[in-house]
Structure 1
Amino acid sequence: MLRFDDPLPGRPARVVVAGVSGAGKTTLAGRVARILGVPHTEIDALFHGADWTPREAFLDDVREFVAGEAWTTELQHASARPLLLERADLLVWLDLPFATVVLPRLVRRTVRRRLRREVLWNGNVEPPLHTVLTDREHVVRWAVATRNKHRRRVPQLAATRPHLTVVRLRSASEVERWVAGPLRAVARP
């Protein structure tokens, strides 16, 4: 597993970004895509249908985009994980401090989206804020409940997939230093 300042072994073509909800996966996946000049597919846009229902075509859509030569996305949704990991050559793990970075970021994002009624995927909007108390699937409750899963899952993935380069980023400054250093170094023509 590489640190933020370790050089990458080469230019990655297919990148997945892992982390708990609110860690910044989609933002970083988009940045990586722009720097490498490859497409970014937001996996939640493929997964969520109207009224937050899973889309029937989700796995077919995932199969289609992972068949491409180059892409970035987020490592989410258990049913898609094997397809993503089979083709990915770089996994970036956002292992940021939960209580001081991720949770406040997630709460701010959730409140902002709800108050502004921001339309997310396929016409969905964040549910009323009080549902954090009543819905076990609410994104904030989900993040709290699953915050430690990646600490077990990512090292297992690294151990069982020798073709996969794994970079662990533990702070916002490490993210910035990795993007400016090792990622940009391999992105240069």
Structure 2
Amino acid sequence: MLSARDPLPARPRRVAVAGVSGVGKTTLARRIAAVAGIPHTEIDALFHGPDWTPRPAFVDDVRALVARDTWVTEWQYSSARPLLAARADLLVWLDLPFWRVTLPRVVSRTLRRRLRAEQLWNGNLEPPLHTFFTDPEHIVRWSVSTRNTYRERIRVLRPDLPVVRLRSPREVERWLTGPMKDATG
């Protein structure tokens, strides 16, 4: 496992960003894409169809994505993780303090999206706020219930896949302006 200060073993061309819901995977993936000059594909846009239904073509779309020479995307969805991990040459684990950083982020993002009626993938909107109490898969509840799953998921990855673990917003900035920039510059 690499830290925010460790040099990368090679210039990354295919990067997966891991972390619990709401931690900032998509934001970091976009920033990595900008620094590395490689395209970002938001995996949620591939997964969610209208009315939050999974798109039937999702796995085929992920296969097409990972077949490309360069990409950055979020490492999520059980059907996609193995495909992404098999082709990635770098996994970035965004492992920020949950109660102090991630939970406030996911709550504020969810509230902002709902109150502003921000359209998400394929015309979807955040569900009504009361669903936090009624839907066990509500994004905030999902984030809380799955917050400890990544340690095991990452532990069983292929041993030759470099993993950078970033544990604070400061480490994210340090890594983007240091090892990541150095590897791509």
Could you tell me the TM-score, scaled by structure 1's length?
Answer: 0.97
Quote the residue 1:171 is aligned against: 168
Report the equivalent of 1:184. Answer: 181
Gaps spanning 5+ residues in structure 2: where? none
Distance in structure 2 (CA, Å) of the matches to 1:135 and 1:63: 31
Q: Which 5+ residue runs of structure 1 have no aligned equivalent?
A: none
Match of 2:12 in 1: 12
Misfit runs of 4+, over 2 Å: none
* Partner SS, residue 134 of structure 2: coil
Q: 1:58 — aligned with what?
A: 58
1:107 partner SS: helix
State, as a whole percentage, how many aligned pairs show the same letter.
68
Structure-2-length-normalised TM-score: 0.99
Question: Cα offset for 1:187?
Answer: 1.0
Q: Secondary structure of the residue that 2:178 maps to in structure 1?
A: helix
C-alpha distance in structure 2 between counterparts of 1:7 and 1:126, whole Å: 39
**Matching of residue 162 in structure 1 with residue 159 in structure 2:** yes
Deviations 1:27-68 (A, max 9, x none): 000110111111100000000000000000001111111100
Q: Secondary structure at the residue paired with 2:155? A: helix
SS in 2 for 1:16: strand
Task: Supply the AA of the counterpart residue of 1:151.
Answer: R
- Deviation of the 1:12 alpha carbon: 0.5
Offset of 1:152 from its aligned partner? 1.8
Separation in 1, partners of 2:153, 2:81 = 11
Counterpart Cα distance in 2 of 1:102 and 1:166: 20
Deviations 1:103-138 (A, max 9, x none): 001000000000000000000000001100000110
Residue matched to 1:115: 115
